[in-house]
Structure 1
Amino acid sequence: YSGETKIVKAIEIHSEKYVFNTKISISNSSERFLGVKTVLVDEMADIEKKALMPTFERQEFFTVNEGKEKRVILKKDESVNEIYPKASVASLGTQYFSQSLVDESTIIPEFRIETVDHKAIGMLNYSLLNKTENLTITYKAFMGPKYLHILEGVNSQLAGLIDFGMFSWLAKPMLKLMKWFHQLVGNWGLAIIMLTLLVRMLVLPFTVMSYKSLNKMKVIQPQIAALKEKHKDDSQKLNQEMMQLMKTNKVNPLGGCLPMVLQFPVFIALYQVLGQSIELYQAPFFLWIHDLSLKDPYYVLPVLMAITMFVQQKITPNTMDPAQAKMMMFLPLVFALFMVSLPSGLTLYIFVSALFAIIQQLIFTRDTNKPAVVTA
C-alpha cells in the first residue's frame, strides 16, 4: 500500500522456459502515483576487436516499437540515450543470452535505453493517464539462452532476438535441419558438415550453370583478345563485335554471375545460422576443437580453408586478364586472415564447402575437357 493506492504484484515462474509471468494490479491510485517502472541492467564489457573481420560477439539492446524491430550494438566507450514511446518488447543481451521484457498489457509502455557508468540500463515505463484509474499491468520476463524454439514459445516477437539478417526466412529452416542432423549423429561439427553438403547439393544445378558459362567464356577468350587489339581505338565497335561473338557462340556474359547471385542468399543465411546459434556454444567437435562457437585455437581450419580456396582458384576456368588473376592469387590468404577470429563452426563450413567445390570442379572439368569449336 502507498497511501490510498493498493499495489498487488504476482509472479508465476516457468523455469523450463527461463521466464516468469508478472501481473501488477493497481487500484485506488492517488494523484501522487505516477506509474510503474521495470528496469533491466547489464554490465558493459570490453569486446575485443579480433583481426580484420567483425565479430559476432557483442552486447546489444533490442526492442519492438509499434511493430518494428530495432537493434543497436552497444559499445563501452559510446553513449546511448534513446526513447521508444510504444514498445512491446525491451531487451538487453549478448550474442547468446538475453534478459527481455514482453508487454501484454492494455496500456503501452515507453522503453528508455541509456548507458551510464559502463552499464546499460533499460527501463520500461508504464505511465497512468488517469491518476485515479484502476490498472492491471502484465508482462513476461525472459532471462536465459537464446534458443529459437524457447523464444518462440514465450512470445513470437522474441524470435527477433536472434539476428539472422535479411534472409531469416531461409536461416530458420536451416537451423532446424542442423538440429535434426545433430539428433542423428550426436555431434554439432558433423551436423555442420552434413548441412553444408546438403546445401551444396541443393545449389548444384546453379553451380553447373555457372561452370558451363565460365568454360564457354574461356574458350572464346583468344577471339575476345583479338577483337580488343583490332578495335582498341573504337570502343563502340568493340562492344558490338564482342556481343556478336558471344551471341554466335551462345555465351551469356552474365551466365557465370547470375547463378552465383541466386546462391548468395543461401550461403549468407547459413553463415548467419552458424554465427548466431547458441546450439554451437561450448559444443565440441573433434581433437583440438572443444568449442565450435570459438575460433580455432591453432588456426588449423583457416589454413586448410586457404589451401582449398587456392586449389579451387587454380582449377576454376579463368576469364580474367593477367593483372586481375595475379591479384586474385592473394585472395585465399586475405580471406584466411579475415576468418582466423571467427567461430570454428563457421570456418568448418567454409572449408567443407570449398572442398566440395574442388571435387565438383574436378568432375566437371573431366566431363567437359573436350575440344570446342569456336564460331568467329
Structure 2
Amino acid sequence: MNLRFIIFVVITSLSLFFVNQYFVPDPKETSSNEQASAAVVDKLPSIGIGTLPLFPLYSTDSSSDAISYGLEVGKGTYMLPTGALPEEKETLFVKNNKGLIKKVNLINKDLSKEKCLIYSEQAKPLIKTLSLPAGKSFLTLLQIEETAPFAYPAMINNGKLTLGKEKPSSNCLVIYDDLGEFFVLGIYDASYEQIIPFSSIGSLDSLIDYVPMQVQKNVVHNEQLYVLENETMQLVFSNLGGSICEVNLPIKSSQHPHSVILSVDEDALIAKQAPLSNLFPLSVYKESVDGKITQFEPKEGGYYPLLRRGIAKKDRRAITRVLPKFYAASVTEGNNDELASIPYKLKSISSKRIVFSAQHAGRRITKTFELPKNGKDAPYVLLANVEVEGNNTDLYFNSGVPEVEFVSGRPSPAITYISYNGSDLSTGQIKLPKTVSTLEHITPDWVANSNGYFATIIDPLDKVGAGVVSTYVPGEVDPSRITLIDVLSDRYPASKYPGYQIAIPLSTKSNSTDFRLYLGPLDAAVLKKVDAFYTNQVTGYSPEYNKAITYQGFFSTIIEPFARLLSILIGFCYKFSHSWGLSIILLTLLLRLILYPLNAWSIKSTIGMKLAEPELKKMQAKYKNDPLKTRTETMRIYKEYNVNPLGCIVPLFLQAPFLFGIFSVLKTNFAIRGASFIPGWINNLSSPDSLFSWSTSIPFIGTSFHLLPLIAALLMFLQTKQSSKGNDTSNMSDMQKQQQKMNFIMPVLMLVIFYKMPSGLNIYFISSSVLQMVQHSITLKSIQKRALKKNPKEVLVKTKRK
C-alpha cells in the first residue's frame, strides 16, 4: 500500500508538471554553431553634463542649498529619477538661467511604477520623447544624487543594453541625442540593469508625446501604401523596400462567412482600449479600382494582423511604424539592412498584381507580387518574384515578424522547415535564436515562421543556396499589438514578447527567384487544400505545408502519432456535434471506452489490494524477522487474491501517450482557437474560461474568475475520496496518514497548475474525471454484488475450469 501510494504521487506530480511544461514553449536557445558573446565596452561616447539642461532644485524659495537637480524636459517641466531627493516633496523651487525662482509641483503620484519624478509649473505638461531606437545607438544614463549629477555612457543594439565598467548604482534617466536635440526615452532600472521605455509605463501616457526621429522624418513622411486584396487576405505593400508591411486576414463575419479565423479576446480588448490600432491598414492607402489608382481611408476592425505592423496610442501621428527591414518580402544584403529601406518606384498595379522597381549600388531590383486567379482554390497564397540585374550574391528574402498569439495561455513561436534529399523528405525545427543565427547546413524546400496558430511560409520555387538566417527581434524594437492591452497595469510589457524573423538566400544560379508564400492560419483543412492544389499530378510532388503544424514539448516524436490519430477522432466527433466543446467531451468518452479494460484492471487491482491488506499486515507482523518468508507469503497472498501490485501503475503508463496526445490536439488544433462552447462563460476553448471579470489585475488570479479549474480540482478531490473509501482510518500507519493529507494537497496543486490553462483542457479533465468516477462506481458495485454470493477472498479469484 505504501509503495503504491508513493508511485501514485510521483506519477501524478510528474504528469501535472508535464502538463504545465508541455504548454510552455521551448526557451530561446542559440543553435549549436552560434557563438554569442557580449563584451563590456570600456569607452563609449556620452553626453557631457555641461551640455544638458540641468537646474538645481530647492525645498523653499529662500533656500540657498540645492537638494537635487532636475532635467528640463519641456518648458517649465523637470524630471529626475526616484531616489534623487532625500524625501518626496509635493512642491519644489527651481532657479532658471535668468536666476528667477519658480515654484513647480509634483505631477505624477504612482512613483513605484514610474520610477521617476516629474515637477512642472503646468498642471498637465506634455513631454516630447522618442521610441527606443532600433539598431545600434549610443545613450547616456543620467544618475542624479543629492550632491551632483553623473553621466554614464551606454549602448543599445537591437534592444540589448551594454554598459561600461562603471555602472550606475541607482535609477537613471535614459537620454538620447537626436542630431543635437536631447530626449529622455525612459528609465534605467539599476536593480535589473534594464531600460524601461515610457511606452511600457502606461500611467505616463497622458504626459508623453512621441515624435519621429530627425533621421527618419523624411522616410516616414514619404512612405506610400498600396493594397491587394482577395477573399482570404488584405496585403499592404510599402514603397520602402517594395515589401509587405501588413498582412491582414479577414475574421469570420457576415462579410466574410467562409473565413476560418474567429475573433478572440485580444481583438475585442484592442478595439476597445486602442481603437486607432484597430484600423486596417493603419494608414491611408491606395488601390487599383477599374484601372485607376484611388486613395482610401483605413477601415475599423474586421481583420487579424498576421504581422507586427506598428502601434498607435494617441493619434495617427503617434504611430510607431515597423522598420522596413522587418517587413515581409524585404530583401537585405548580408548584415547590411540599408537595401530594405530604399524607396522603390511603383511600376504597375492592378487588382491582382503589383510591381516595384529600384536601383541601388549598381544593381536594379524588380519585385513582382501576384495573387492566384482564384483565391478560394489557393487560400492565403501569394506568388512573388525577385529579379536582380547586377550582383546578386549575399542577398536574402525575409519573412516579416509574426504577431504574438497565445497558445494555451502563452506565446508559442516556432521556426520549422522541410528539405528534400532526392526523394527523401526531412522535417526539422530551428531553435529560437538569442541574436542572429545562420544555419549553413540547411537547404530548405520551405521555411515557416510561426506564432503557434499562424505562419508565414517562404517556399522558393527556384533552387537557392544553403543557409537559413533566424533573427531575434526585441519587443521594444518591434512591439506587439498586445502591449496596448491594460497599459496602466503594464499587463503585457513589450520586453517580454520578442519576435523572430527568418530569411533565406536568393538564387545565385539565375538573376530571378520565384517564391510561393503562404500567409495564413495553421488550419489542417486549409493546408490540405493548398497542398492538393499545388500537388504535381505527374510527379506526385506536394509542398507538404501541413508539416508546418508542429507538436512541441517533451517526447514530441513519441506523442505525434497519437496526436494525429486523436485529431482525426475529434474531427469525426465534430461532424456529428458541430460543437468543439461537445467534441472534446465525445472524444473523452471515446477514449474512456477504448481504455476501459485498462482502467477496469487498475480499479480491480486497487480494490484487490484493499481486500488483501488485512492479511498482508498480519503476515508482515508474524514474519517481521524473516524477510525471505515475508516475500514468499506476500507473493502467495497476491496470487490468492489475483492481484498484481503493478496493476495500479501499468495502466497509467499505457494511457500516458493518449493523455499527452489530447494535450497536443488542444494546443495545435486551429479550429478550437476562438471556438465558443457556452457564450458568456466559455467563449474561447483555447483560452481560460471567464465567469466574470474586473479591471484591476489580482496576482495569480488576473482580471477574470475561472470556474472550470475549480470544478476540475473538486472532482480530483472527490476521486481520491472515492478511491480511499473503505479504508480503516482507526488503524492507519504514518504513511497512510500522509496519504490522507495528499488527498487535499493534490487537488490544490492541480488548481494552481490548471487555473490559467485553456478551457478545452479543463473540459477534458472534468469529463475524464466524471467518467472515471462512474466506471469506479460500476466496477465496485459489480464486485460487491459478487461478494454477496462468494467469500470476499474469492471475489477476485479466477474460477478454474474443471
- Check 1:105–1:127 CA distance in 2 against 1; reply closer, same or farther (3 A cut): closer
Return the alpha-carbon distance in structure 1 between the equivalents of residues 576 and 737 of structure 2.
Answer: 48
Return the TM-score normalized by structure 1. Answer: 0.83
Partner of 1:301: 708
Say yes or no: does 1:21 pair with 2:383. yes
Return the TM-score normalized by structure 2. Answer: 0.41
Partner of 1:58: 412
Return the alpha-carbon distance in structure 1 between the equivalents of residues 405 and 518 of structure 2.
Answer: 24
1:263 deviation in Å?
A: 1.6
3-state SS, counterpart of residue 294 of structure 1: coil
Return the alpha-carbon distance in structure 1 between the equivalents of residues 623 and 430 of structure 2.
Answer: 54
1:235 deviation in Å?
A: 4.9
Partner of 1:367: 782
Partner of 2:613: 221
Partner of 1:93: 450
- Check 1:162–1:46 CA distance in 2 against 1; reply closer, same or farther (3 A cut): closer
Say yes or no: does 1:156 pair with 2:556. no
- Check 1:148–1:44 CA distance in 2 against 1; reply closer, same or farther (3 A cut): closer
**Contact between 2:371 and 2:383, CA under 8 Å: does it hold in 1?**
yes
Q: 1:42 aligns with which of 401, 416, 423?
A: 401
Partner of 2:437: 81
Partner of 1:145: 521
Q: Over residues 213-240 of structure 1, what are the superposed CA-to-partner deviations in whole Å (9 max), with x where a residue is unaligned?
A: 2221221112333344445556555434
1:202 deviation in Å?
A: 1.4
State how 1:190-201 maps to structure 2 within 5 Å: 190-201=582-593
State how 1:195-214 maps to structure 2 within 5 Å: 195-214=587-606
Q: Over residues 36-87 of structure 1, what are the superposed CA-to-partner deviations in whole Å (9 max), with x where a residue is unaligned?
A: 5210121675979xxxxx845322322336724115457xxx5453425322
**Contact between 1:145 and 1:278, CA under 8 Å: does it hold in 2?**
yes
Partner of 2:762: 347
- Check 1:271–1:22 CA distance in 2 against 1; reply closer, same or farther (3 A cut): same
Identity among equivalent positions (%) equals 21
Q: Over residues 84-138 of structure 1, what are the superposed CA-to-partner deviations in whole Å (9 max), with x where a residue is unaligned?
A: 532233222212111111344334542110114434221111353xxxx546644
Q: Which has the larger radius of gyration?
A: 2
3-state SS, counterpart of residue 220 of structure 1: helix
Return the alpha-carbon distance in structure 2 between the equivalents of residues 254 and 72 of structure 1.
Answer: 39
State how 1:147-296 maps to structure 2 within 5 Å: 147-152=523-528, 153-154=530-531, 155-163=543-551, 165-166=556-557, 167-232=559-624, 235=627, 237-287=629-679, 288-296=681-689
Return the alpha-carbon distance in structure 2 between the equivalents of residues 21 and 103 of structure 1.
Answer: 10
- Check 1:206–1:46 CA distance in 2 against 1; reply closer, same or farther (3 A cut): closer
3-state SS, counterpart of residue 61 of structure 1: strand
Q: 2:772 aligns with which of 347, 350, 357?
A: 357
Is 344-353 or 311-320 further displaced after alignment?
311-320
Please tell me the residue identity of whatever aligns with 1:161: I
1:146 deviation in Å?
A: 0.9
- Check 1:71–1:243 CA distance in 2 against 1; reply closer, same or farther (3 A cut): farther
- Check 1:82–1:106 CA distance in 2 against 1; reply closer, same or farther (3 A cut): closer
Please tell me the residue identity of whatever aligns with 1:40: S
Please tell me the residue identity of whatever aligns with 2:411: E
Return the alpha-carbon distance in structure 2 between the equivalents of residues 9 and 36 of structure 1.
Answer: 17
- Check 1:245–1:12 CA distance in 2 against 1; reply closer, same or farther (3 A cut): same
3-state SS, counterpart of residue 254 of structure 1: helix
| Greater per-residue helix proportion | 1
Return the alpha-carbon distance in structure 1 between the equivalents of residues 708 and 401 of structure 2.
Answer: 34
- Check 1:229–1:176 CA distance in 2 against 1; reply closer, same or farther (3 A cut): same
3-state SS, counterpart of residue 210 of structure 1: helix
**Contact between 2:405 and 2:412, CA under 8 Å: does it hold in 1?**
no
Task: Structure 1 unaligned segments of length 5 or more: list them.
Answer: 49-53
Aligned length: 360
**Contact between 1:285 and 1:292, CA under 8 Å: does it hold in 2?**
yes
Return the alpha-carbon distance in structure 2 between the equivalents of residues 364 and 353 of structure 1.
Answer: 16
**Contact between 1:274 and 1:346, CA under 8 Å: does it hold in 2?**
yes
| Greater per-residue strand proportion | 2
Return the alpha-carbon distance in structure 2 between the equivalents of residues 69 and 196 of structure 1.
Answer: 31
Is 251-260 or 355-364 further displaced after alignment?
251-260
3-state SS, counterpart of residue 330 of structure 1: helix
Is 192-201 or 154-163 further displaced after alignment?
154-163
Return the alpha-carbon distance in structure 2 between the equivalents of residues 235 and 24 of structure 1.
Answer: 80
Say yes or no: does 1:312 pair with 2:719. yes
Is 193-202 or 6-15 further displaced after alignment?
6-15
- Aligned-residue RMSD, C-alpha: 3.2
> Which fold has the larger relative contact order, with Cα–Cα distance below 8 Å and residues 6 or more apart in sequence?
1
**Contact between 2:717 and 2:747, CA under 8 Å: does it hold in 1?**
yes
Partner of 2:739: 324
Return the alpha-carbon distance in structure 2 between the equivalents of residues 127 and 237 of structure 1.
Answer: 78
- Check 1:79–1:335 CA distance in 2 against 1; reply closer, same or farther (3 A cut): farther
- Check 1:34–1:80 CA distance in 2 against 1; reply closer, same or farther (3 A cut): closer
Say yes or no: does 1:121 pair with 2:504. no
Q: Over residues 331-360 of structure 1, what are the superposed CA-to-partner deviations in whole Å (9 max), with x where a residue is unaligned?
A: 112112111101111111110110111111
- Check 1:123–1:219 CA distance in 2 against 1; reply closer, same or farther (3 A cut): same
Q: Over residues 123-160 of structure 1, what are the superposed CA-to-partner deviations in whole Å (9 max), with x where a residue is unaligned?
A: 111353xxxx5466444211111101222443325424
- Check 1:264–1:162 CA distance in 2 against 1; reply closer, same or farther (3 A cut): same
Please tell me the residue identity of whatever aligns with 1:150: V
Task: Structure 2 unaligned segments of length 5 or more: list them.
Answer: 1-356, 421-425, 476-498, 532-542, 691-704, 728-734, 798-802
